[in-house]
Amino acid sequence: MGSLLGTRGQDLPAIPVSEELNMSLRTSVLVLLLCVLALAPGCYGPFNATSSLHHWNGTEFENEWAQEGMFLVLTIIPVYGLWFLGDVLIFNSIEFWGGENPIDPPGSSDDE
């Protein structure tokens, strides 16, 4: 019985890729990797925005089923993903370069 890709023992044809394109792709991947390695370690922070959203969900709804339901809604929509991305790209970077995170840690505001 033959495979889905062809008869048994038959090799698929190679896709021709120019050496120039191959080097360009390798160079691009290397530059991207070096940028990530250079920038990521210094910008690690407390993730106050994501922690605040998680804290809000834990304190706003006393029923554990309501908390889980809201967690699923915020994950599916993807509010948690956007909050995390904002933390990584904006707020933790501001804290690293400026010294102060513009988002207060959860539970530190006067309104609670």
Indicate the DSSP class of residue 38: H
Q: Give the residues across from 6 on adjacent strands.
A: 3
pTM beyond 0.75, yes or no: no
- The model's confidence at residue 110, banded by pLDDT at 50, 70 and 90, is low
Q: Looking at residue 12, what is its pLDDT?
A: 66
Distances 23 to 16, 18, 31, 73 between C-alpha atoms, Å: 14, 9, 12, 44
Q: Looking at residue 2, what is its pLDDT?
A: 47
**Comparison of pLDDT for 109 and 71, the residue scoring more:** 71
Tokens in use for 8?
């048994």
The mean predicted confidence, pLDDT, of the chain is 80
**Region 30-43 average pLDDT:** 75
Angle at the Cα of 110 from the Cα atoms of 106 and 112, rounded to 5 degrees: 65
Tokens in use for 47?
């993730």
